[in-house]
Amino acid sequence: MEGISLEELQLAARNHGMPLEALRYPVTPIGLHYLLTHYDVPDVAPDGWRLAIGGLELSLDDLRARSVAEHTVTMECAGNGRARLEPRPVSQPWLLEAVGTARWRGTPLAPLLAEAGIPDGTVEVLFTGLDRGIEGGDEQAFQRALPLDEATRDEVLLAYEMNGAPLPPQHGFPLRLVVPGWYGMTNVKWLSRIEFLAEPFSGYQQSWSYRVRQSEDEVGEPLQRMQPRSLLVPPGIPEFMTRDRTVAAGEVLLEGRAWSGLAPVASVEVSDDGASTWSAATLEPAGEPWAWRGFSYRWEAKPGEHVLCSRARDEAGNEQPVEPPWNLGGYANNAVQAVRVTVTP
Amino acid sequence: MEGISLEELQLAARNHGMPLEALRYPVTPIGLHYLLTHYDVPDVAPDGWRLAIGGLELSLDDLRARSVAEHTVTMECAGNGRARLEPRPVSQPWLLEAVGTARWRGTPLAPLLAEAGIPDGTVEVLFTGLDRGIEGGDEQAFQRALPLDEATRDEVLLAYEMNGAPLPPQHGFPLRLVVPGWYGMTNVKWLSRIEFLAEPFSGYQQSWSYRVRQSEDEVGEPLQRMQPRSLLVPPGIPEFMTRDRTVAAGEVLLEGRAWSGLAPVASVEVSDDGASTWSAATLEPAGEPWAWRGFSYRWEAKPGEHVLCSRARDEAGNEQPVEPPWNLGGYANNAVQAVRVTVTP
């Protein structure tokens, strides 16, 4: 790997992944959930804050007085895996760990849109956050749009609680969008404004970033739903610097979690020889539809060096590749994880 | 800067700093406080957990039934600033942000040590965590010792709450040591055992790591209390990749926080020309003795490029250097921060 630059390191020091041992928790504790902040975490005083939506202006109390829904949702950054690509696209250098699962509680979006009045000819709904910065040379607030038919799905929430507590500042206090199944950038934090658009949104985060393409000349395809991925809890104990693992020979229960935003997880396989041969893992019973699904595999660990991998397939037939799929922005690299393990006699 | 390696990036993706805009909070929200985990976050079931201390075995309920104390404590990693050194010592590559302040609530250590019975001839007290890994080629639990006179100071706590809630897993659930004023590694997490030593502890984290020395041949000096440091909340808005700042010309209130584990903060100065000239900042009233202290400075921002710096001095006369002090492990680099700002007309 070519060395990470100071600018990439600055991002890696601010943003953070989920340490993979935290895959043990079905709901990720606050502080272990991955976090990516494009600009700064804004300082929002809840008393003065209002959400503008069409002609409505709503306070946090107004939103809390509405119907309540809660979903357990696995959320992954679209850039997860970027730093595993060669050549490496330069941005936040995620390896594997930009994921987490939370219980998001709030009010469903669709009834609010209806109450605000969806104008005829609306094609997209635009969400604007309070976080401001400069990107591509232009000052901007973070903005993302959803097609109207996606914005009005039942499971789309305006969330004011995470894991049973008010949103922490870094996760969007006082209100964020949660779109189960979609990559993280969709879930606009520090929401201030929702607007109806008669034309597709062409802002920076929609038409330039978050598109799969091979060169800047291409328009590319927008990133939307999460590709299937599985991750193993690294077994045994780590070496501090290399993070390579050591376990004692014998039966080792390998555990992990798998998800896909495209369809339910259908199967997970495990390899102990670096993706040459595969064996079926046991899936835990399916839980909530937007949450990751646990799996396990009883591994007969024999002394020597091993590379553990896992591979998820979803019911739509999407499967994790062994080789990383390269693209210009370094998005959606769901290639299989490789965990180096030394088994001691 | 020479490029960061894959191994350093793996650490940077797991561990995380405090984004500097979070300096706005006098007490850092959970999830924004810096975090360094040497090995893995262990999975501790509170029911079966006991603290062994001399001949005593105490449950979490036993500890909660004892006298209660709470301190607001600024904690900084001894490796903060490591990645700013040239040549760069290879370990967790912190830039500036490995710090945070929390309210730690628990029971004072000294009465427990007395109850357990401090044997004659005790020189140090050894703290062992439940986190295990390999470092320097040897399997070990994380262990650190304190001189007896430091371990029996009034302010030293066994903490079971952080910011009013049970310790999160990543901060040491169910119990951690908190030694106000000392660098982070002192504050052993996931405590399982406290022992009395008649000889100084010679374990890896005491005699090899966390020592200031110029070469491996030297024994070096152990790292103990935090050197003075101050950090500014970066003003204005950031560019996504460079994190350089843009503000509009006019009066800008610069704010930040300063601390020292050696003595109370005596003064902070601010520079807008890259540490060539300095002006006195205004200190906020002193708060709790182990917490950072706020400061502010009314800056007349003139159009052009500026480099903002701040410099703290403590009552013992220790002052932040402008040039980083190099040592083999990359510890205690408290050189002044440099914030690049473009002021627009």
Contacts of A25 in chain B (CB under 8 A): 169
Dig out the tokens for B47 from the structure: 């029911």
User: Same domain, yes or no, for A185 and A281?
Assistant: no
A71, part of any domain = yes
Whether A38 and A182 share a structural domain: yes
Instruction: Name the domain boundary from A170, A196, A222.
Output: A222
List the single residue in B with minimal CA-CA distance to A134: B239
Task: Judge whether A37 and A172 are in contact, CB under 8 Å.
Answer: no
Domain check: are B84 and B211 in the same one? Answer: yes
Residue closest to B231 by CA, chosen among B202, B270, B200: B270
Task: Give dist(CA B234, CA A134) in Å, integer.
Answer: 14
B125 and B218 assigned to the same domain:
yes
Q: Residues A107-117: pLDDT tens digits? A: 999 999 999 99
Which of B198, B222, B246 is the endpoint of a domain? Answer: B222
Residue A79's Cβ-count burial label (10 Å; 0-12, 13-18, 19+) is buried
Domain of B171: which CATH number? 3.90.420.10
> What percent of chain B has a predicted confidence (pLDDT) above 70?
100
Structural domain count of chain A: 2
Q: Are residues B112 and B249 both part of a single domain?
A: no
Closest residue to A13, CB basis, from B97, B170, B234: B97
| Residues paired with B197 in a beta bridge | B124
Q: How confident is the model at residue A318, as a pLDDT? A: 98
pLDDT given at position B144: 98
How many contacts does A have with B, using Cβ atoms within 8 A?
175
Question: How do residues A305-332 score in pLDDT, each as one tens digit?
Answer: 999 999 999 999 999 999 999 999 999 9
Give the pLDDT band of residue A2 (cuts 50, 70, 90). Answer: confident
Selection from A212, A38, A35, A6 nearest residue A139 by Cα: A38
Same domain for A175 and A31: yes
For residues A158 and A181, the answer to whether their CB atoms sit within 8 Å is no
10 Å CB burial of residue B64 (0-12, 13-18, 19+) is: middle
Q: Is residue A1 in a domain?
A: no
B312: domain CATH number is 2.60.40.650
Strand partners, B310: B270
- Please determine, for the modelled complex, whether the ipTM score is greater than 0.90: yes
The whole-number pLDDT of residue A39 equals: 97
A211/A77 same-domain check? yes
Would you list the DSSP string of B128-158? EEEEEEEETTEEEEEEEEEEHHHHTSTT-EE
Structure tokens at A339: 């965990």
All residues of chain A having their beta carbon less than 8 Å from the beta carbon of residue B330 are none
B237 interfaces chain A, CB cutoff of 8 Å: yes
Per-residue model confidence as pLDDT tens digits over B130-171: 999 999 999 999 999 999 999 999 999 999 999 999 999 999
Q: A134 lies in a domain?
A: yes
Q: Which of B246, B251, B234, B236 is nearest to B308 (CA)?
A: B234
Binary contact (B4, A1; C-beta < 8 A): no
- Please check whether residue B1 lies inside any domain of the structure: no
Is the Cβ–Cβ distance between A266 and A293 less than 8 Å? no
Beta bridge partners of A299: A252
Examine residue B236 and state whether it is found in any structural domain, yes or no.
Answer: yes
* Domain presence at residue B261: yes
Closest residue to B134, CB basis, from A43, A83, A246: A246
Q: Is the confidence at residue A1, as pLDDT, over 80?
A: no
Assess whether A176 and A75 both reside in one domain.
Answer: yes
| C-alpha–C-alpha distance, residues B323 and B303, integer Å | 27
Tokens of B316: 């013992």
Task: From B168, B200, B222, give the residue that closes a domain.
Answer: B222
User: pLDDT (tens digit, 9 = 90+) per residue, B75-107?
Assistant: 999 999 999 999 999 999 999 999 999 999 999
Residue B136 is assigned to a structural domain of this protein: yes
- Residue in the block written with tokens 């590379």: A307
In chain A, which residues have their Cβ closer than 8 Å to the Cβ of B97?
13-14
- Closest chain B C-alpha to A29 CA, distance in angstroms: 7
Expressed in percent and rounded to 5, the helix, strand and coil fractions of chain B are 15, 40, 50
B76 and B123 co-located in one domain: yes
Q: Would residue A303 count as lying in a domain? A: yes
| Chain B interface includes A99 (CB < 8 A) | no
State the pairing for strand pair B51-53/B191-197: parallel
Among B5, B13, B97, the residue with its CB nearest the CB of A17 is B13
**3-class DSSP state for residue B109?**
helix
Range(s) of the domain holding residue B167? 6-222
Residue B50 shares a structural domain with residue B141: yes
Listing DSSP states for B8-42 in one string gives: HHHHHHHSB---GGGGG-SSPPTTTS-B--SS---
Give me the pLDDT at residue B2, please: 83
Partner residue opposite A31 with nearest CB, options B6, B31, B242: B31
Q: Would you mind telling me the total number of residues written for chain A in this entry?
A: 345
Contact (Cβ atoms closer than 8 angstroms) between residue B162 and residue B30 = yes
Q: Do B151 and B209 belong to one domain?
A: yes
d(CA B334, CA B228): 7
Query: Shortest CA distance to A255 belongs to which of A201, A197, A315, A296?
Result: A296
Residues B183 and B327 in one domain: no
